[in-house]
Amino acid sequence: MTSVDGDASRFHAVPGTLYVVATPVGNLRDVTLRALDILGTVDVVAAEDTRVTAVLLRHFGIAARPLSLHEHNEAARAVRIVGLLREGRSVALVSDAGTPAVSDPGALLVRAVGDAGLPVVPIPGANAAIAALSAAGLHAPRFLFLGFLPATAKARRDTLIAVAALPYALVFYEAPHRVGATLAALSEVLGGERELTVARELTKKFESIARLRLADAAAWLAADPNRSRGEFVLLVDAPQPESGSAAAAASSPETERWLRALLDELPPSRAARVVAAMTGEPRDRLYARALALKPTE
């Protein structure tokens, strides 16, 4: 890269290049030096919310005026930005917080620029999901990132059913006005015994990280109104193996007969709930077996 002000250790934006720049999720000091170099030397900063990005730019003495790029105008902005890049301008893409195109706008633009044969350069940095994972102490060595769940109850439930039995930790983003409904859905579909980590307001003044059973999540949330505030990362650890006796009981011929019979009339989650109520066996194990017997509803 070429230098800025004669300092070879700094990076300078290259003409005709799109930079995907990660910005802090809360604490402004989490910005990287390379991100500041690029933001300070590009011709255009494309931002999810120009007001939010303007605060970041002012804080670091960067004079650029951001151009809006959000979910409602991304297609049109992509055409314009591809044109700017072809003219030899350089562009930085940022979201309100964290890494663009990760549960934020930007993927459409990145694809359009790539399809046009123009370079896309990632400038890595803060990411709320990875920050939460690093502090969660999960048992699972692998995870699935699902971002924000669908807004409607049925679509949310269907999404969870599709991943419930997989041997991975599940990582979600959630907003304060939906966190209660989402926690209830997680407990219902995934089973109350799975371990939940709630990471709230990461890197900010009121950051908190709590670990509890999904069955206890509703009571935990209701115990303090402040727990419903802020932005959330929710991490559900992978299903843990049952003890030998529990595993044997869950696969008993009687349990299997009940489950198969109910699956002729009910979706897997409801069939597992009924059999769990009748037998006292773990609902999450019954649900996993129900999914194996009837993978789709």
Instruction: Please give the pLDDT value at position 243.
Output: 42
Q: Give residue 92's pLDDT band: very low, low, confident or very high (50, 70, 90).
A: very high
Numbers of helices and strands, H then E, in the chain: 12, 10
Structural contact between residues 250 and 289, judged by C-beta atoms closer than 8 angstroms: yes
Instruction: Please give the pLDDT value at position 279.
Output: 82
Question: Per-residue pLDDT for 260 more than 90?
Answer: no
What crossing angle do the helices spanning 268-279 and 153-163 adopt, rounded to 10°? 70
Domain match, 256 and 276 both:
yes
C-alpha 227/C-alpha 200 separation (Å) is: 8
Question: In Å, what is the CA distance from 138 to each residue of 38, 132, 215, 232, 240?
Answer: 35, 10, 18, 17, 11
Q: The domain that contains 54 carries what CATH number?
A: 3.40.1010.10
Question: Per-residue pLDDT for 117 more than 50?
Answer: yes
Domain boundary (126, 157, 181) is at 126
Q: Establish if 202 belongs to a structural domain.
A: yes
Question: Per-residue pLDDT for 2 more than 70?
Answer: no
Q: The domain that contains 172 carries what CATH number?
A: 3.30.950.10
C-alpha 239/C-alpha 274 separation (Å) is: 20
Domain match, 118 and 133 both:
no
Structural contact between residues 93 and 69, judged by C-beta atoms closer than 8 angstroms: yes
What crossing angle do the helices spanning 283-293 and 253-263 adopt, rounded to 10°? 60
Domain boundary (126, 145, 161) is at 126
Q: Establish if 93 belongs to a structural domain.
A: yes
The 3-class SS string of 60-94 reads CCCCCCCEECCCCCHHHHHHHHHHHHHCCCCEEEE
Q: Give residue 9's pLDDT band: very low, low, confident or very high (50, 70, 90).
A: low
Q: Which amino acid is at 222?
A: A
Domain range enclosing 222: 129-236
Question: In Å, what is the CA distance from 129 to each residue of 145, 202, 240, 274?
Answer: 8, 10, 22, 35
Bridge partners of 98? 23
Domain match, 230 and 254 both:
no
Q: Establish if 2 belongs to a structural domain.
A: no
Quick: pLDDT tens for 175-228.
999 999 999 999 989 988 999 999 999 999 999 999 999 999 999 999 999 999
Q: Establish if 5 belongs to a structural domain.
A: no
Q: Give residue 8's pLDDT band: very low, low, confident or very high (50, 70, 90).
A: low
C-alpha 20/C-alpha 92 separation (Å) is: 6
Quick: pLDDT tens for 161-179.
889 889 999 999 999 999 9
Instruction: Please give the pLDDT value at position 180.
Output: 96
Domain boundary (67, 92, 126) is at 126
Domain match, 29 and 90 both:
yes
Structural domain total, the chain: 3
Domain match, 84 and 133 both:
no
pLDDT, mean of residues 133-162: 94
Q: Give residue 250's pLDDT band: very low, low, confident or very high (50, 70, 90).
A: very low
Q: Establish if 172 belongs to a structural domain.
A: yes
Q: Establish if 211 belongs to a structural domain.
A: yes
Q: Establish if 3 belongs to a structural domain.
A: no
Q: Establish if 12 belongs to a structural domain.
A: no
C-alpha 235/C-alpha 199 separation (Å) is: 8
Instruction: For the chain, list the strands marked E by DSSP.
Output: 18-21, 44-47, 67-68, 91-94, 120-123, 143-148, 169-174, 195-200, 208-213, 232-236
Quick: pLDDT tens for 34-44.
999 999 999 99
